Each structure stands twice: as C-alpha cells, then as structure tokens.
Amino acid sequence: MTPIQLFDAPSGTYTYILMHPETREAIIIDPVEEQIERDLDVLKSYQLTLRYAVETHAHADHITSAAKLVELTGAKTAAPADCGITTAAIQLTHGDTLTFGNETLKALHTPGHTGGSMCFVWGANVFTGDTLLINGCGRTDFQSGSAEALYQSVQQHLFTLPDATTVWPGHDYQGRTHSTIGFEKQNNQRLAGKTQAEFVAIMAGLNLPRPKRIDEAVPANLTSGVRHDAGEHQALTAPTAAEGYAGDVSCALAWAWVQSGEAVLVDVRSDAEREWVGQVPGAVAVPFKQWPGMVENADLDGQLKAAANGKKLVLLCRSGVRSIAVAKRACALGLDAYNILEGFEGDPDTHGHRGTRGGWRARGLPWRQN
C-alpha cells in the first residue's frame, strides 16, 4: 500500500491520494485549490470514486480545493474537529476512522503546529501534515500553535509508531518526499534526542516570516476553501481609522488576525444573546450593557486587560454599537482595540436583509449554536 504523492511547487505542499484497488474507492489528503484539475485527472485515470477530502489542519499557506472537489465528485469533507472548519461534513476527533473500500484511515489528534492539527495512519504509513516534517516540523508561532504541545504530540503519537512506518509530510521545501519514523527519531535535528525544553528553545528561535497568503488562506480554509474576498465587504482590507479607538475591521480581517494569533476576539453581547443566537469559537465573553456607569467599571477594565494579554482586541457585538463603546474604553486603558464592522448579525437598518447580508454569521465565518 503506497499513496499517490502529488506536489504543489509554489507552496511546497504534498497532496496524497489513497486508494483501495479492488473497489476503487479513494481518499484525498490536503488538496490544493490550484491543482484541482490535476487531482481530478488522477482520480479519473485510476477510475477512482472519491469518498473523502480530508484536511490535516486549516492551512495558512495555500487554499484547499476540498469544497470544490466534493461538489464535483460527491465525496464528503472531513477535517479535525478542533480546527474550526465549520463546513466539514465530518468533524474528526482522536481515534476516528474513515473507510474507503476495505481500507481504513485513522485520525490522531496531534496539536502543536495548530491547536487542531491531526496526523492520519494508514497501515504502515503516517500522513503527518505539518506536525512532523522531514528533518523538521511545522512552526508553532500562529493559529494556537504550541511548541510544548507539538513535542508531546510527536513523542506520544508519532515516535511510538513502528520504526518502519513511512512518514509522508504535508510539506517539503527541499525536494525530499518521504522518510520513516525510525529515521526521524534518530536524525531529526529539531526532535531527535532533544528534551522538551531544548525543543521549545529551538522553536522560539526560528523567527520565520509570516506565510505570504495567511490572511487570505486561513479564512477560506475555515470554510473548506470557499473564498471570502468575493463580496464587496469581505476583502481583507486594512483597518479603517476611527475616532477614539484603534479602528474598524471587517469580520474577515478580524478572524484572520485571531487565527494568526495577533488578536483576541472579545464578544460583548449578553449571555442570552450568545446562547440563543450563536457564538464564535474561542471568543472571550465580556458581556456589556449600555447603562450609565457601565463604561467606567473596574470589573470591565480588568476583564479587557486579561483578555488582551498583550495582543490586539477585536470587539464583536450584535451590530457594531456596543463594540464601539467597549473599543473606546479599551483604548482609554492603553489597549489596542478594534471594532468589528457589522457585528455578529449585521445591521438591519443598513442592509435591510437581516441575517442575509452583512455580519459575522451571514458571511460564513465560524460560529456555533449551543
């Protein structure tokens, strides 16, 4: 059993197609938007029926073709449950399996490169995404990444696989294609023989540049590759200046900042609104009521400072009124606070179609209902 390994040169990304020869059922892992014609040709030439388009994580460097692939092939999207890919039909948790013909792909939750990242085991193969690369590993400096978590994921879930297991990485930037667990255990310069503290120090010293496409890629990948830059309000334009606070940002830019670890999203709606209308995964709740005295309130000040923890704040309410009041207060406290335009539901007076135009929810950004 060997996967078909395909390469996207501009992003250095590997895509894998796995098949069960008798039934011709197949799975694709980490497909790339620009390579959809190539991937459809491969599926056709091997007469494969695609069952699942699977992501190892919400990528920061390229856009997935998963949504388009499933539309064209009838497959289902599957993604790690903790990645916030709200459109994925199957939300994978640790130990879950996907079946194609008589074959099984098993998901391992391996946080570190991102909080939700997964690796997938297929017989004597492991698809390591950006958790373990050949003589390297994924960076841990954005998207809820953690060097400590990555070290533990590798030690607990990857270096415990048989030494002969073939490692198929999510990327390689130097032309290498695959490795083995035994070889990486012995030779990986970041991980072999390193203590957790040594590994954390190595990762802290990398100082890698931001991926060029991160602001465009992450929001799109959270909806399986459906772009958010098509609509008039959705472009990832720079914040616009505002009086009394740091500025106004679109929902898409706010989410891009949250995903890249630059900003914390604070939801200032009431507990009831969040519970009944819906909420944003990972948001910090700081309910704010517009009654006299509420703005200058030690409790509110403390919660805002704690939420920011040195990062930018992006403030969300229903339609963008309360969030401005709180942004002003946060900036008066010395924080770097932005208002999210249109809020969670959009403004019915501005757009006339409440819930269908404008607002976090209508724009397809991640949210969930209790």
Binding residues for Fe ion (CB under 5 A): 130
* Per rule CB under 6 A, count of chain residues that contact ligand GSH: 13
Whole-number Å distance between alpha carbons of 70 and 84:
19
Whole-number Å distance between alpha carbons of 163 and 181:
5
Residue with tokens 């004597």: 124
176 contributes a contact to ligand GSH by CB under 6 A = no
Q: Which is nearer to Fe ion, 96 or 130 (CB)?
A: 130
To the nearest 10°, the Cα dihedral for 118, 91, 256, 38? 70
- Going residue by residue from 44 to 73, which x/- string records binding to ligand GSH, judged by CB under 6 A? ----------------xx------------
Q: Which is nearer to Fe ion, 211 or 358 (CB)?
A: 211
Q: What is the DSSP string of 322-340?
A: HHHHHHHHHHHTT--EEEE
Q: Which is nearer to Fe ion, 8 or 103 (CB)?
A: 8
Q: Look at residue 84 and give the partner it binds from Fe ion, ligand GSH, none, a contact being a CB closer than 5 to 8 Å depending on partner kind.
A: none
Q: Which is nearer to ligand GSH, 144 or 319 (CB)?
A: 144
- Residue 164 contacts residue 184 (beta carbons within 8 Å): no
- Residue 325 contacts residue 287 (beta carbons within 8 Å): no
112 contributes a contact to ligand GSH by CB under 6 A = no
Q: Look at residue 345 and give the partner it binds from ligand GSH, Fe ion, none, a contact being a CB closer than 5 to 8 Å depending on partner kind.
A: none
Q: Which is nearer to Fe ion, 130 or 248 (CB)?
A: 130
Could you give the angle at the alpha carbon of 146 between the alpha carbons of 167 and 212, nearest 5°?
80
Q: H or E element: which one contains 81?
A: none
Among positions 119-158, residues that touch ligand GSH (CB under 6 A) are 130, 136, 138-139
Name the residues that contact ligand GSH, by CB under 6 A: 11, 60-61, 113, 130, 136, 138-139, 171, 208, 211-213
